[in-house]
Chains A and B, each alone.
Chain A
Amino acid sequence: MDSVFYSRVLTELTLTFHIIYATIGVGIPLFIFMAQWMGIKKQDEHYILMARRWTRGYIITVAVGVVTGTAIGLQLNLLWPTFMQLAGKAIALPLFMETFAFFFEAIFLGIYLYTWDRFKDQKKHMLLLIPVAIGASCSAVFITMVNSFMNAPQGFEMMNGEFINVQPLVAMFNPAMPTKVAHVLATAYMTAAFILASIGAYRIIKGSNHIYHKKALLLTIKVGLVFAIASAIIGDFSGKYLAAYQPEKLAAMEWHFETEEEASLTLFGVLTNGDEIKYSIEIPYALSILAHGNPTSKVLGLDQFPKEDVPPLYIHYLFNIMVMIGMFVALVALIYIVGNWLRKKFVYKKFFLWTLVTTGPLCMLAIEAGWWLAEVGRQPWVLRGILRTEDAATTSNDVDIMLYLFIGLYLLLGIASVIVLIRMFKANPIERELRDREGGE
């Protein structure tokens, strides 16, 4: 039916747009906190200023994150009423806790923003950031729990198409939860780090040679590298989770057609005629290692699943994009840190700075690819093994019109937020702000 298609497109559109701002929303408070902490510890005005400037940009992204988050929250009910009626009985708890975390963050962010000069002691002001950062991360944790329930539903019994004997905590702490939550958090911090690094690198290219930018670069890239490595390790655990609990997703994303032992990993490649792989690189044993940690173990292939339960095979491309970007960014970060430590000149040469500029946008692309992979990889189920997507959508006939309206809205918000952010920082570069502050004190 048409409304199923449009509901899927509209949900995907809203989430794709929301994720950009939500990822920044989860990651940046950590960095604002670190900058302010270092500023107080080192008695260095530059770091305090860093916290201020990041906060100013952050508030713009938060605003868009809040309103698009409200949109997706309501759209879940509007577009997937049958799903919410059924699943609400098992996942209402984490959804509810997510709003609490969000509430908590909203209150303290408001206070933080308006008390820059209220306290004599900067440490007091810094303490306000802890609930902001905790609230932001907790809402990511809780909402990811909801999503992992959709991948690995448990904590209830089915009777006549209804959930009975629901155990909310068992539903929350499902097998998909640990890897998903950890991966979401690590990649959000990583992405935030490299977005801030991109901005710093860009300012240096544009002629601002101030020590401030170098401090910012070193701080963000160091932390970014730690989280890039963490993301990769958690990604490996996710592979093992999939092999054990969602083998059809793993088989589809790795183009693993036949069940075999000593399975090799297919990198890149193009799929033709449905099952012929061309131009790929095979790494022997790697898939067995990824799936079970043992080069000779057996990995289930797509031959083991009925055709109607297999997700679309294009998710292989998404997987490649995500992993390649992760590797590339980690490598660039490592080169920068080592080069900076050895005082090599090349790290501030234009070609390398431009490479740094690409890391932020690339990370965001990887986040999107990763979410598309996770979500499309669950098709055709909305609740894996229980409720098919086509049975969950609304029966309303107006979804297409709403889709066009929301496209307009997101275009408007996207363009406006970018314009506002650029204007904010172009009009007030760091040199000027430092001068103004000295003049004022």
Chain B
Amino acid sequence: MSYELIGISVLWLFLFGYIIIASIDFGAGFFNAYSLLTRKNHIISNIIQRYLSPVWEVTNVFLVFFFVGIVGFFPSTAYYYGTVLLVPASLGIILLAIRGSYYAFTTYGKLKSHFWTYLYGFSGLLIPASLSIVLTISEGGFIDNTSAGLSLDYVALFFSPLTWSIVTLSLTSVLYISAVFLTWYANEAKDEQATALLRKYALIWAFPAIITAGGIIVELRVHNELHFQNMLNVWWMFLLSGILFAATVYLIWKKRNYGVAFLLLIGQFLIAFFAYGISHYPYLLYPYLTIAEGFTNEGMAIALIIAFIAGFCLLLPSLYLLLRLFLFNKNYVQGKIK
């Protein structure tokens, strides 16, 4: 495999990792705020807090890791995406900053106020929207390349159905992923009330998520013919992903094996995410930048890959320790130990 393929595959995997844990995080914040609004917070707030507290910082690192990695492996992305994303990415940063710090302020600083819970919960939904704009732009058609430099065509972006499909997909899948995970987590905690409520949310959000995902494929047919054709070439991956979706929903419906259901859900999104990525190949930004054009020099690529492997030898055991102490520790999950 060539270095650029290794690079993009690893980064794509990392982006996937971020999407899953950030979804859980954003969704959890939203459900927490929503339950406060509907006065059901006594049911699920504890579960959510116990999960979020030890991992909120790690979630943030995944994002940093992805954007440092992509600029490292593909420095030209800094030029293209950096120039055009100033406004949407800055808004994303501001929302992330407010969210991240207020989480810490309220949890550790005991800044108890409903206002912050709402701010935390609802800002979480705007972040996926502001970040998923990148995916829309990568499909091409929204950037003007003139002698004065690159600029983003906000009007075209705002009125494109593709934009809104991707935004809707990011919102619905955030809520779906999060609800499935929390159902499993609440069940592990032997908290029946919370499990029942979260299971309901999972079932409610499953169908909007799958319908918008399908809708995007249709949108692409109009917007980016090449990408659409490439997607048809990997139709079996999308089919497989669909089957896993059906299996997840079946298990949740039957109130069985929530852990397996969550794993199937990861599989569903992983396959769909990679099928989308593979069909986007070889473009990083259609039609300006391909993977080969944007790639860094060989010396840096080798150094980055070595650093990556070495770093992972440190990280994987540490992440495992974190999960063992909190996520997979029955006594902690059930609130018997702090």
- A residues contacting B by CB (< 8 A) are 56, 59-60, 62-64, 66-71, 73-75, 77-82, 84-86, 88-90, 92-93, 95-100, 102-104, 106-111, 113-118, 131, 163-169, 394-396, 398-399, 401-402, 405-406, 409, 412-413, 416-417, 420-421, 423-424
Contacts and interface: CB of A to CB of B under 8 A. Distances in A.
Contact of A56 (B71, B108, B296): B108
A90 B90 CA distance: 26
Given A100-B314, A409-B94, A107 B58 contact: yes
Given A99-B64, A106-B58, A116-B338, A59 B81 contact: no
B72 A111 contact: no
Contacts of B69: 96, 99
B213 interface: no
Nearest to A410: B97
A52 to B, nearest CB: 12
B75 A88 contact: yes
Contacts of B78: 77, 81, 84-85, 88
Contacts of A118: 325, 337-338
Q: How large is the interface on B (under 10, 10 to 19, 20 to 34, 35 or more residues)?
A: 35 or more
B325 A115 contact: yes
A79 B87 CA distance: 11
A103 B81 CA distance: 25
B26 to A, nearest CB: 15
Q: Which of B78, B101, B319 has the largest count of A CB atoms less than 10 A from its CB?
A: B101
Given A78-B86, A107-B58, A117-B338, A67 B100 contact: yes
Contacts of A395: 83, 148-151
B94 A166 contact: no
Given A62-B57, A69-B64, 19 more contacts: A63-B103, A77-B81, A78-B82, A79-B82, A86-B75, A93-B304, A95-B68, A96-B72, A99-B64, A106-B58, A107-B58, A107-B321, A114-B53, A114-B326, A114-B338, A166-B299, A168-B300, A395-B83, A395-B151
B297 A406 contact: no
Closest 7 CB pairs of A and B: A92-B72, A63-B104, A395-B149, A88-B75, A81-B82, A84-B78, A420-B109
Interface in B46-62: 53-55, 57-58, 60-61
Nearest to B296: A89
B96 interface: yes
B313 to A, nearest CB: 11
Contacts of B111: 416, 420, 423
Contact of A84 (B82, B150, B318): B82
25 contacts: A63-B105, A66-B57, A69-B64, A70-B64, A71-B93, A71-B97, A74-B67, A74-B93, A75-B93, A78-B85, A85-B79, A93-B72, A99-B61, A103-B61, A110-B55, A163-B297, A168-B300, A395-B83, A396-B149, A402-B87, A402-B90, A405-B90, A413-B97, A423-B109, A423-B110
B65 interface: yes
Contact of A405 (B79, B94, B296, B325): B94
Contacts of A59: 104, 108
Contacts of B71: 77, 84, 88, 92, 95
A92 B322 contact: no
B89 interface: yes
Nearest to B93: A71
B54 A114 contact: yes
B67 A60 contact: no
Given A114-B326, A405-B90, A107 B319 contact: yes
Contacts of B93: 70-71, 74-75
A106 B72 CA distance: 22
A80 B83 CA distance: 8
